[in-house]
Amino acid sequence: MKTAYEKEKIISIVIIIVSLIIMAVVGTIIILSHDKSDDGKKGELMPDIVGYSFKEVQACYERFFTLEIAGEDYSDKFAEGAILSQDNTAGTPYEKGKTTVRVTVSKGTKPVETTAPVTEPPAETTTVITEPPKVDGPIDNPVAAFETNNPSSALDITTCGLKIPDGRGTEIINELYSLMRSHGADAGFLYYNPENGGSIEYNADERFSSASIIKAVYARAILGAGIDLNAEYEMTEELLNSQYERVNDEPVGTMFTAEELIRAAVAESDNTAYKMLYHYIGFSDFNEYAKSLGLPQRMTYENYWFRMTARQTAAYFKDIYYFIEQHVNGALMEECMENAEYREMFSAALPDKIVAEKYGYLPQSDFYTLGDAGIVYGSDSDYVLVVYVRGTGTNLNTEFFREAAVLADELHGLLA
């Protein structure tokens, strides 16, 4: 017969065992809960897509989630087709490939009611330039067919104002189409011939991040406004962009002339130089310039990078082509673009040609946008070429640009 002491000892052991079992169960629950929480954190996080083009977001994120338009409304802030709201909050986890995001989309800016009479626009005219003189001021800017052509189907090759020769000419068009079609809506292309106003385009009205291409356009705007190239501006701590910029190699407080900053921004794609230019010189010259071309880009202190279509980019570079020929600051613009530091695309593809170009590259979390825009000078005639592509992975698809440039150049030779 067990004593009272032995009974108490047995009861204590039982209590300890039960306590250990309870603790083990609770610990397991906590661990499983923690792991589940971690899994949520490791999942995809919803990006902020408000303000972006519905078409662009759909193309970029179709592998991740599905967009569903819940309604359309006017907006004074966003352009037509822009996303106004999303029901999945940015930064929250979602299930890749199984999530539907309901969005509202803008119809554009609500028109202002007016009783003013409607008048027909003036007829378009084309100015033929022969041996244009160097001038100091506004330049002739002939209207080109591709700027007013009705948008074509996004995934078709369209020619305007050009007679494509049978045989090799038709073959090149087919090869160019196959090359572009391999990237679907993630590629844009436009070839423009200043001599006859003709063009070849693919997906020319899809918006892409132009990234550093805008630096050349901004430089054209301020050079055309006749800024003082010898004016000096201080590099302050606040204007530093990154440690990798050439301008940053100099100590804070260094003074740079406007010409030095333009050369660095265009030829070397220096972000600090570009930041200093728009900080000190401002946006009014650029905005007036874009307005004069009938293009929608407008700069502010919060908005100095733009999404642009191949058509819009070609319009700017067509103007730069005439600017180089006619303006007193054209030689500086040409020198900067012909001596661009990064030359792995059009220039690499056409080593026997002089190419004045500007590339743009924007890396994002799961894809990148790469673009090149330039003027190709031939022995007999010149042309403007713009190519954009969105891609994934760590290696930039520069081969795509070289293949497009080779085909465009061969076709240009047949058309000249």
Final residue of a domain: which of 61, 79, 108?
A: 108
In a domain, 179, yes or no: yes
Q: Is residue 243 part of a domain?
A: no
Among residues 92, 108, 124, the one where a domain terminates is: 108
Q: What is the pLDDT of residue 283?
A: 92
Same domain, 185 and 328: yes
Residue whose tokens read 């809960």 = 33
Q: Looking at the structure, do residues 100 and 168 belong to the same domain, yes or no? A: no
Query: What is the pLDDT averaged over residues 89-115?
Result: 73
pLDDT in tens, 193-214: 998 889 999 999 999 999 999 9
Asked if residue 175 has pLDDT above 90, the reply is yes
Greater pLDDT, 58 or 322: 322
What is the band of 54 on the pLDDT scale with cuts at 50, 70, 90? confident
Q: Is 218 exposed, middle or buried, given 0-12, 13-18 or 19+ CB atoms closer than 10 A?
A: buried
The answer to whether position 221 is within a domain reads: yes
- Higher pLDDT, residue 329 or 39: 329
Q: What is the pLDDT of residue 109?
A: 54
Residue 352's pLDDT band (cuts 50, 70, 90): very high
Q: What are phi and psi of 406, to 5 degrees?
A: -65, -45
End-to-end CA distance of the chain: 116
Q: Is the pLDDT of residue 141 over 90?
A: no
Last residue of a domain, one of 108, 130, 163: 108
Same-domain status, 76 and 211: no
CATH number for the domain spanning 66: value is 3.30.10.20
For the beta carbon of residue 178, count every other beta carbon within 10 angstroms: 11
Same domain, residue pair 102 and 153: no
Q: Is residue 62 part of a domain?
A: yes
CA nearest neighbour of 200 among 163, 230, 231:
163
Q: What is the DSSP string of 162-213?
A: --PPTTHHHHHHHHHHHHHHTTGGGEEEEEE-TTT--EEEESTT-EEE-TTH
Cβ neighbours for 143, distance < 8 A, ≥ 6 positions apart: 124, 125, 126
**Which range of residues forms the domain containing residue 319?**
145-227+281-415
The answer to the question of residue 154 being in a domain is yes
Instruction: Give the pLDDT mean for 56-66.
Output: 71
Q: Are 98 and 159 in the same domain?
A: no
Phi-psi region of 162 (alpha: psi -120 to 50; beta: other; left: phi over 0): beta
C-alpha span between 84 and 50 (Å, rounded): 5
**How high does pLDDT run on average in the chain?**
81
When pLDDT is averaged across residues 83-106 and rounded to a whole number, the result is 84
Tens of pLDDT along 355-382? 999 999 988 878 899 999 999 998 889 9
| 125 in a structural domain | no
- CB neighbourhood size of 379 (10 A): 9
Share above pLDDT 70 across residues of the chain, in percent, rounded to a whole number: 75
Residue 405 has pLDDT above 70, yes or no: yes
pLDDT band at 85 (very low <50, low <70, confident <90, very high): confident
- Residues above pLDDT 90, as percent of the chain: 47
Positive/negative CA dihedral, 396, 397, 399, 401? negative
Please give the model's pTM, rounded to 2 decimal places.
0.66
Q: Tell me, what CATH number does 198's domain have? A: 3.40.710.10
Highest mean pLDDT among 29-33, 39-43, 174-178, 301-305: 174-178
Rounded-to-integer distance, Cα 311 and Cα 294, Å: 12
What is the chain's alpha carbon radius of gyration, rounded to the nearest angstrom?
29
- 267 lies in a domain? no
* Confidence at residue 13, expressed as pLDDT on a 0 to 100 scale: 75
Q: Are residues 104 and 155 in the same domain?
A: no
Q: Are residues 189 and 292 in the same domain?
A: yes
- Do 98 and 152 have their domain in common? no
| Burial class, 306, CB count within 10 angstroms (exposed 0-12 / middle 13-18 / buried 19+) | buried
Number of domains composing the chain: 2
Strands 65-74 and 99-108: parallel
d(CA 166, CA 404): 20
- Per-residue pLDDT at 203: 94
Is residue 299 located within the same domain as residue 178? yes
CA distances from 83 to 73, 80, 108, 123, 403 (A): 10, 9, 11, 36, 34
* Model confidence band, residue 86 (pLDDT cutoffs 50, 70, 90): confident
Residue 99 shares a structural domain with residue 170: no
Q: What's the pLDDT tens digit per position in 257-276?
A: 999 999 999 999 999 999 99
- Rounded Cα distance between 390 and 393, Å, is 10
In a domain, 255, yes or no: no
Q: 208 or 86, which is more confident?
A: 208
Residues 166 and 59 in one domain: no
Work out the pLDDT band at 88, boundaries 50, 70, 90: confident
User: What pLDDT does 136 receive?
Assistant: 36
Same domain flag for 286 and 407? yes
